[in-house]
């Protein structure tokens, strides 16, 4: 070890303001090296925390060129502060090599694994679905905590609806405080975390390429590591496989937290953890992704704040009360402790659906925070302002749809069809096609005695579906049939058994619709 009479070996986690202007010895892994217009910055991790070390020779000149990312080093530093961040000015630094390097590597990895262990393993409530998935929750939370400790960026990809936003927000609220605690840099939460909505009902290859490209750019520019990608309210189906594999090619790892059904589990073998009720012989209609992510958030961070309203909010938004009213009611009782009524949650969901349609791919972290009650007074003002306006838009969308809907009896089922492209204004119109079909599906049931109902929104390259249990419909069954009968239509899609969407090439629309009719009649 380097001898230096005034310096003692210190764990990075112990370095605080009492060390200001004092010298210390630190040992650890150089996570990345950034050359600024002034000093060279070496980001170091020792298993207990992270510290930026600065070396300076001349403005913009690379200091200690023999030291690079991935090296294990020992350094004598003088602790100082820059832009609110504690850092170490390098007085002397050298590589650990041979047995010294291997021992330090094992020590750091052991410390990181120990720190990544989940502290809280209690759910908000007792539920058999959650208990069956408990080991998967622990694995996912441990890997997420480890990624934070190892300064690995995290990307949360979630569906672009209320349940998806509930999922992404709950994970965000758990992860960001841990990132802030891990790093002394005030902007670490922006460097190491990104939440991105996805409009497709699956992890699309386009989103995967965007995530990989964004990460690879940061690897090249800032020596960042490839990210851990968490796919929430998406990710469990065969349609997700290519995108997940594409991200893995570039060094990303994946965790999936979802409740959508699938025919074959091709995802679990590809990811660090896969949380889905269908893996434990439970139905996705009985628990929402937001519920799963809120519970996972508590495993990630036992001190996570402002998420007790999330499970009930997502449950009502995704109509979990139709299949599992007891669970939703239990979560509502928890939400009521923080002043959230069922009526307020439905109003918030309405605003989230509207905002999600407007912001589309944008993260809008602060705006989403307001939607979820940060701060509550601003949330109340926003919801009171926007909810009445959005209800009027829904009424308008429902009236437009009903004016052109076709309703007919097919076998034991009733089919309601809406030509979206001919009936509704184009891009930017609210309600979105899926929501419009849902509104019309609900309205027809209220206005008539129809029980076995399938509602279809038809577009030039897509269709969206809603069905009642009595209709014996299956989105996945339909997709399988379409792929078999029309392979050249290149049908893709997904969703729940009674709610989902498909995409296809335009020239096959009429053939697709004919098979949809046959499928509905045969059920």
H helical segments located in 117-161: 128-132, 134-149
Q: Residue 426: is its pLDDT beyond 80?
A: no
Burial of 239 (0-12, 13-18, 19+ CB in 10 A): buried
Instruction: Answer whether 252's CB lies under 8 Å from 286's CB.
Output: no
Which segments of the chain belong to CATH 3.90.1640.30? 117-338
The more confidently predicted of residues 184 and 369 is 369
End-to-end CA distance of the chain, in Å?
Answer: 76
Token pair in block for residue 285: 């209609």
Can you give the pLDDT at residue 432?
87
Tokens describing residue 204? 């699309």
The answer, as to whether pTM is greater than 0.75, is yes
* pLDDT in the model for residue 4: 43
In this structure, which CATH number among 3.40.190.10, 3.40.640.10, 3.40.50.920, 3.10.310.40 belongs to the domain 405-522? 3.10.310.40
Mean predicted confidence (pLDDT) in 386-393: 97
pLDDT of residue 5: 47
Tens digit of pLDDT for each residue in 322-345?
A: 999 999 999 999 999 999 999 999
pLDDT above 80: residue 522: yes
- pLDDT above 90 (res 427): no
- Summarize the confidence of residues 170-192 as an average pLDDT: 91
Confidence of residue 246 (pLDDT cuts 50, 70, 90): very high
Q: With 50 as the cut, is the pLDDT of residue 285 above it?
A: yes
Residue bearing tokens 């934070």: 148
For residue 58, count other CB atoms closer than 10 A to its CB. Answer: 9
Strands (DSSP E) contained in 8-124 are 8-9, 23-35, 40-45, 50-55, 72-82, 85-95
Rounded-to-integer distance, Cα 146 and Cα 441, Å: 45
The two structure tokens encoding residue 446: 């209220």
| pLDDT in the model for residue 373 | 98
Report the pLDDT value the prediction gives residue 9, as an integer from 0 to 100.
94
Give the H or E element holding residue 413.
strand 413-419
What are the residue ranges of CATH 2.40.50.140 in the chain? Answer: 8-107
- Which regions of the chain carry the CATH code 3.10.310.40? 405-522
**pLDDT for 444 beyond 60:** yes
pLDDT at 2: 46
| Alpha-carbon span 127 to 258, nearest angstrom | 17
Mean pLDDT of the chain: 95
Pick the CATH number of 117-338 from 3.40.30.10, 3.30.930.10, 3.50.50.60, 3.90.1640.30: 3.90.1640.30
Q: Residue 282 has what pLDDT?
A: 97
Q: Which CATH architecture fits 8-107?
A: Beta Barrel (2.40)
Q: Can you give the pLDDT at residue 222?
A: 84
Among 137-151, 152-166, 228-242, 421-435, name the one with the lowest average pLDDT. 421-435
- Dump the DSSP string for 432-484: -HHHHHHHHHHHHHHHS---SEEEEEE-SSEEEEEE-GGGT--HHHHHHHHHH
- 80's CB contacts (< 8 A; 6+ apart) are 20, 21, 86, 87, 88, 89
Q: What angle do CA 439, 444, 449 make, to 5 degrees?
A: 145
pLDDT, one tens digit per residue, over 1-33 is 444 446 899 999 999 999 999 999 999 999 989
Instruction: Please check the confidence at residue 430 and state whether its pLDDT lies above 90.
Output: yes
Q: For the chain, what is the radius of gyration of the CA atoms?
A: 26
Separation CA 14–CA 350 (nearest Å) = 47
Higher-scoring residue by pLDDT: 117, 3: 117
């Amino acid at each position: 070890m380097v001898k230096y009479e005034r310096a003692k070996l210190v764990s990075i986690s112990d370095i605080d303001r009492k060390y200001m202007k004092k010298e210390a010895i630190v040992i650890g892994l150089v996570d990345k090296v950034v050359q600024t217009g002034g000093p060279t910055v070496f980001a170091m991790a020792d298993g207990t925390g992270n510290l930026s070390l600065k070396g300076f020779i001349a403005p913009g000149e690379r200091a200690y060129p023999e030291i690079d990312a991935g090296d294990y080093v020992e350094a004598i530093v003088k602790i100082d502060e820059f832009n609110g961040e504690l850092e170490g000015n390098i007085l002397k630094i050298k590589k650990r090599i041979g047995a010294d390097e291997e021992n330090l590597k094992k020590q750091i990895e052991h410390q990181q694994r120990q720190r990544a262990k989940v502290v809280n393993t209690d759910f908000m409530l007792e539920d058999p679905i959650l208990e069956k998935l408990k080991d998967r929750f622990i694995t996912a939370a441990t890997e997420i905590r480890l990624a934070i400790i190892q300064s690995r960026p995290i990307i949360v990809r979630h569906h672009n609806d209320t349940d998806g936003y509930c999922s992404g927000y709950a994970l965000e609220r758990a992860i960001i405080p841990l990132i802030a605690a891990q790093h002394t840099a005030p902007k670490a939460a922006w460097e190491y975390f990104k939440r991105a909505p996805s409009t497709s009902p699956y992890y699309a290859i386009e989103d995967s390429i965007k995530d990989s490209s964004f990460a690879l750019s940061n690897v090249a520019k800032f020596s960042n590591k490839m990210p851990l990608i968490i796919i929430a309210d998406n990710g469990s189906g065969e349609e997700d496989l290519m995108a997940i594999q594409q991200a893995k090619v570039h060094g990303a790892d994946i965790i999936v937290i979802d409740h959508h059904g699938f025919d074959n589990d091709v995802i679990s073998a590809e990811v660090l953890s896969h949380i889905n009720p269908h893996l434990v012989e439970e139905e996705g209609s009985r628990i929402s992704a937001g519920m799963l992510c809120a519970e996972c958030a508590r495993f990630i961070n036992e001190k996570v704040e402002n998420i007790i309203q999330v499970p009930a909010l997502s449950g009502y938004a995704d109509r979990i009360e139709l299949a599992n009213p007891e669970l939703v009611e239990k979560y509502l009782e928890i939400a009521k402790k923080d002043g959230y009524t069922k009526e307020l949650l439905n109003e918030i969901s309405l605003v989230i659906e509207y905002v999600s349609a407007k912001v589309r791919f944008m993260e809008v972290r602060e705006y989403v925070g307001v939607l979820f009650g940060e701060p509550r007074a601003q949330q109340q003002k926003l919801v009171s302002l926007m909810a009445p306006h959005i209800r009027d838009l829904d009424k308008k969308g429902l009236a437009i749809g009903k004016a052109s809907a076709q309703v007919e009896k097919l076998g034991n089922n009733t089919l309601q069809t809406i030509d979206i492209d001919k009936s509704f204004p184009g891009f930017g119109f609210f309600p979105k096609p899926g929501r419009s079909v849902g509104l019309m599906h609900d309205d027809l049931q209220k206005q008539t005695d129809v029980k076995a109902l399938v509602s279809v929104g038809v577009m030039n390259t897509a269709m969206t579906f809603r069905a009642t249990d009595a209709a014996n419909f299956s989105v996945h069954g339909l997709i399988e049939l379409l792929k078999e009968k029309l392979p050249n239509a290149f049908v893709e899609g997904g969703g729940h058994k009674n709610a989902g969407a498909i995409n296809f090439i335009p020239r096959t629309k009429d053939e697709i619709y004919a098979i949809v009719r046959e499928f509905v009649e045969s059920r």
